Amino acid sequence: MTDLGGTSDAVAFEGEWHGPVVATSVHAGHGLRQEIAEAMVLEESERLREEDPYTDRIAAVVPDRVVTSRSRFEADLNRPRREAVYRKPDDCWGLEVWRDGVLSDELFEGSLATYDAFYDALAPRLDALAERGPFVLLDVHSYNHRRDGADGPPAPAVDNPEVNVGTGSLDHDLFGPLVERFTADLRDASVGCGPLDARENVAFEGRNLAWWVHDRYPRVGCVLALEFKKTFMDEWSGEVDEDRLEAVRKGLAAALPGLHDELERLR
C-alpha cells in the first residue's frame, strides 16, 4: 500500500494501478479526527448505520483501489464540496450530530481539508490511467433497506435491487454496451457466481465522484456507482453475515473479466 505523506491516515492506495479497472469505497470509513470526535454527540451505532461498513471488503476484489478510513460524518467524499460537510441536521437525514447544534467554522475547514486531500490524491492516479485509454472506476457503496426498524419489514424488492448500478452521468452512447454487459454478468449465474438482482438506476444514479470523473475524463472515464443492498449484514446491529458478504464479493469478481473485455473493444 502506498500513501501520501500527511494525508496517509485519510487516503491510501493499493495495487500497481497499471490496469484499466479500479475501485473506491468512499463511505466505508468509520474513523474521525480527534477534534471532530470530541464535538460529535451522534451515537456511534447511528453513525455506523448511515456509513457503508464492509464495502471496502467488497471493493477489495479489485486489486487496484483507493482506501479511505474517515467517516462520511467528517467529510462526505461523494457529495459536491459545498455539501460535503454535514453542519446541521438538514444536511444528514435530520440527525443531531454536533454538541453545539451546528459545526463550527474551524472544524468545518478541517473537514474540507480531508475532502480536498482525497481528490488531490486521486487525480494524478486517474490522470495516468486516462493517458492509457478508457478506464472503469467501480464506486462501491451500500444502502439500508430496513428503515422501519430491526424488526420491521424490509423495503419492497421491486424498488430495491440487490445491486443498483448507477450510471446517471456517464456517456451512454460510448459506454452503454459495457454497462449492459456488466449488469448482465452480475445477473448470470453461469458467469461464475450469483445470480445477483442487478438493475440500473432504480434508486441511485451515482453522485459526486461519478460527476467529477466524467467531467474530468470525458469519453475516457466510466464510473459505475454500485449500491449493494445491506443483505450481507444487519444494518441495525452492524453484524456482518460472512457467507452473504463472500457471495457478493464473488459475484462482483466474476463480472470483472467482462469489464476488461469491453474496455479492450473500446481501445
Pairing of strands 198-200, 221-229: unpaired
Q: Return the higher-pLDDT residue of 152 and 75.
A: 75
Pairing of strands 163-166, 65-68: unpaired
Q: How confident is the model at residue 7 (pLDDT cuts 50, 70, 90)?
A: very low
> Is residue 211 predicted with pLDDT exceeding 60?
yes
CATH code for position 159: 3.40.630.40
Q: How confident is the model at residue 191 (pLDDT cuts 50, 70, 90)?
A: confident
Per DSSP, the three-state class of 156 is coil
- For the segment 7-22, the average pLDDT, to the nearest whole number, is 87
The pLDDT mean for the chain works out to: 94
Per DSSP, the three-state class of 88 is coil
Neighbours of 246 (CB within 10 A): 14
- For the segment 119-144, the average pLDDT, to the nearest whole number, is 97
In sequence order, the 6+-apart residues with CB closer than 8 A to the CB of 188 are 194, 195
Q: How confident is the model at residue 267 (pLDDT cuts 50, 70, 90)?
A: confident
Check residue 186 and give its pLDDT: 96
Check residue 3 and give its pLDDT: 41
Q: How confident is the model at residue 201 (pLDDT cuts 50, 70, 90)?
A: very high
The model's pLDDT over 133-179, given as tens digits with 9 standing for 90+, comes to: 999 999 999 999 999 888 889 999 999 999 999 999 999 999 999 99
The model's pLDDT over 19-54, given as tens digits with 9 standing for 90+, comes to: 999 999 999 999 999 999 999 999 999 999 999 999
DSSP one-letter string for 8-21: TTTEEEES---SSE
The percent of residues above 70 in pLDDT, for the chain, comes to 97
Check residue 2 and give its pLDDT: 44
The overall longest dimension of the chain from CA atoms, in Å, is: 55
Q: How confident is the model at residue 1 (pLDDT cuts 50, 70, 90)?
A: very low
Question: Helices (DSSP H) in the chain: which residue ranges?
Answer: 34-39, 44-50, 55-59, 105-132, 172-187, 208-216, 242-266
Neighbours of 225 (CB within 10 A): 25
Check residue 187 and give its pLDDT: 95
> Is residue 232 predicted with pLDDT exceeding 70?
yes
Within its chain, how far is the Cα of 137 from the centroid? 10
- For the segment 67-84, the average pLDDT, to the nearest whole number, is 97
In sequence order, the 6+-apart residues with CB closer than 8 A to the CB of 48 are 30, 238
- Considering its fold, how many domains does the chain have in total? 1
Task: Please give the residue range of the domain that contains residue 172.
Answer: 2-266
